[in-house]
């Protein structure tokens, strides 16, 4: 039994078997900003990194630490740093690594705020940002340069559902630019479906607001990587640059939510497949973007690299007006941004999550103002389908 490796369904429940004070089964919430030292020498040693132990909750907290260790295990990384949002994790990660004069090669389809950070803010720091289609390996080969310090993309891109071949991109990037860190936003897939580090990526970032917490009541993020990279991200990106620290209450809620990640993802993926098939055969829908449908351009990559196809679906109506009318006609689906919750959420990327992008940027990212995005929840799929059906009938006359 000693070499036995636990399956993901077990890891989400047990993590690395922390022994809680007083034998508590659930993680205690260490609601404290600071930690009392036994002596001046001990305080000095902790600051000098010569002695393990907590100092101040911006640098680490036992509840948050238990969560970080569980997420590191789930993603197969040496260490993890928790942040108070996904954007905290992304900005903390890139600003820890990139310097003036570096080249960042990123996919052109990204969550809207990541897109804004990369295209508006990073260039102000002298970082050269280039956007390409990362799912096209020839484009990757043509654009990686000796000074490319980071390659960045989303496992399943928000909102076009493009799937990038993590293994192929990582292998090529490392062969021509060994110092380059391949960074993957694994929010849409979660470690239940893909482990980017095991496919060759260097850093994984997450909005834990989504599937990892899973209950729509927390904003949080993670960065996961090797120990040395993580040390830099924690001591620079978290401690000094963003200060975007996750509080212990939120850490507790995510520890609780994570316990059901495997069963939630299984049910959500199964439901999403049924909903995608319904959308695919609906005469009201022009095009369905779901990597689990064989006509999806990245179906083969998704089959190879993903355990299941995920819970996110996008679909295009015939006009912007029809898309808007559908959003106003749904009754069960909640008209809200975010994703990965128990409730099915529906939103309009062009005017909501990606409203900071110009029409040209939206087109380049592979979608339009006719696109609706659906985060399939845990309801009975037949009820989600019935809701969409009645909304189509009302909206498309």
As annotated, the active-site residues are: 58, 111, 185, 210
Task: Residue 283: count other Cβ atoms within 10 Å of its Cβ.
Answer: 8
Among 61, 63, 66, 85, binds ligand LCS (CB under 6 A): 85
User: Which residues ranging from 136 to 155 are in contact with ligand LCS (CB under 6 A)?
Assistant: 154
Among 66, 81, 148, 158, binds ligand LCS (CB under 6 A): 158
Of 87 and 293, the one with the shorter C-beta distance to ligand LCS is 87
SS (H, E, C) 316-376: ECCCHHHHHHHHHHCCCCEECCCCCCCCCEEECHHHCCCCCCCHHHHHHCCCCCCEEEEEC
Q: Is 79 helix (H, G, I), strand (E, B) or coil?
A: strand
The arrangement of strands across the sheet holding 221-225 comes to 79-83, 221-225, 203-207, 181-185, 148-154, 103-107, 128-132
Of 68 and 396, the one with the shorter C-beta distance to ligand LCS is 68
Closest distance of CB 188 from ligand LCS, Å: 6
> Which residues, 6+ apart, have CB-to-CB distance to 147 below 8 Å?
101, 102, 103
Cis check for the bond before 71: say yes or no (omega within 30 of 0): no
186 binds ligand LCS (CB under 6 A): no
Closest distance of CB 207 from ligand LCS, Å: 3
221 binds ligand LCS (CB under 6 A): yes
Closest distance of CB 18 from ligand LCS, Å: 25
Closest distance of CB 205 from ligand LCS, Å: 7
Q: Is the alpha carbon torsion for 88, 256, 214, 6 positive or negative? A: positive
60 binds ligand LCS (CB under 6 A): no
Among 96, 209, 242, 344, binds ligand LCS (CB under 6 A): 209
CA distance linking residue 227 with residue 58, whole number of Å: 19
86 binds ligand LCS (CB under 6 A): yes
DSSP of 95-148: HHH--TT-EEEEES---HHHHHIIIIIGGGGT-EEEEE-TT-HHHHHHH--TTE
CA distance linking residue 366 with residue 360, whole number of Å: 10
Closest distance of CB 198 from ligand LCS, Å: 20
87 binds ligand LCS (CB under 6 A): yes
Among 63, 160, 164, 187, binds ligand LCS (CB under 6 A): 187
Among 353, 365, 392, 396, binds ligand LCS (CB under 6 A): 353
Q: Is the alpha carbon torsion for 101, 103, 109, 114 positive or negative? A: negative
93 binds ligand LCS (CB under 6 A): no
Of 110 and 273, the one with the shorter C-beta distance to ligand LCS is 110
Closest distance of CB 131 from ligand LCS, Å: 16
170 binds ligand LCS (CB under 6 A): no
CA distance linking residue 352 with residue 364, whole number of Å: 17
Q: Give me the residue label for tokens 């570096």.
A: 102
Q: Which stretch binds ligand LCS (CB under 6 A): 97-105, 173-181, 185-193, 260-268?
A: 185-193
Task: Mark 288-327 with x for binding to ligand LCS (rule: CB under 6 A) and - for no binding.
Answer: ----------------------------------------
185 binds ligand LCS (CB under 6 A): yes
Give whole-number Cα distances, 79 to 221, 233, 316, in Å. 14, 11, 40
Q: Which stretches of the chain bind ligand LCS, using CB under 6 A?
A: 85-87, 111, 114, 154, 158, 185, 187-188, 207, 209, 219, 221, 337-339, 353
């Amino acid at each position: 039994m000693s070499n036995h490796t636990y399956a993901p369904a077990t890891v989400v429940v047990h993590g690395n078997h922390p022994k809680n004070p007083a034998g508590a089964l659930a993680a205690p919430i260490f609601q404290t900003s600071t930690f009392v030292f036994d002596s001046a020498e001990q305080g000095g040693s902790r600051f000098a990194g010569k002695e393990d132990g907590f100092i101040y909750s911006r640098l680490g907290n036992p509840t948050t630490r238990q969560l970080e260790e569980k997420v590191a295990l789930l993603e197969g990384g040496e260490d993890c740093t928790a942040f108070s949002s996904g954007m905290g994790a992304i900005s903390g990660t890139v600003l820890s690594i990139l310097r003036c004069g570096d080249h960042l090669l990123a996919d052109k389809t990204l969550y809207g705020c990541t897109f804004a950070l990369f295209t508006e803010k990073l260039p102000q720091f002298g970082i050269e940002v280039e956007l390409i289609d990362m799912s096209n390996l020839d484009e990757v080969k043509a654009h990686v340069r000796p000074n490319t310090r980071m390659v960045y993309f989303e496992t399943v891109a928000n909102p076009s559902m493009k799937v990038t071949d993590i293994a192929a991109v990582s292998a090529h990037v490392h062969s021509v630019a060994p110092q380059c860190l391949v960074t993957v936003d694994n929010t849409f897939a979660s470690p239940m479906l893909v482990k980017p580090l095991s496919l060759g990526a260097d850093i994984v970032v997450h909005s834990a607001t989504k599937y990892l917490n899973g209950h729509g009541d927390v904003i949080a993020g993670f960065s996961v990587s090797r120990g040395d990279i993580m040390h830099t991200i924690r001591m620079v990106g978290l401690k000094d640059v963003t200060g975007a620290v996750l509080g212990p209450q939120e850490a507790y809620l995510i520890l609780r939510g994570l316990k059901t990640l495997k069963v939630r993802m299984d049910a959500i993926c199964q439901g999403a497949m049924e909903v995608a098939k319904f959308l695919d055969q609906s005469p009201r829908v022009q095009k369905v973007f779901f990597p689990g449908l064989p006509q999806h351009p990245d179906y083969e990559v998704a089959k190879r690299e993903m355990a299941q196809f995920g819970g996110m679906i996008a679909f295009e109506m015939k006009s912007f007006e029809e898309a808007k009318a559908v959003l106003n006609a749904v009754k069960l689906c909640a008209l809200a941004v975010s994703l990965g919750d128990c409730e099915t959420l529906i939103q309009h990327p062009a005017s909501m999550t990606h409203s900071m992008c110009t029409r040209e940027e939206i087109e380049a990212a592979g979608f339009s103002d006719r696109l609706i995005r659906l985060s399939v929840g845990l309801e009975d799929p037949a009820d989600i389908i019935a809701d969409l059906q009645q909304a189509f009938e009302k909206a498309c006359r």
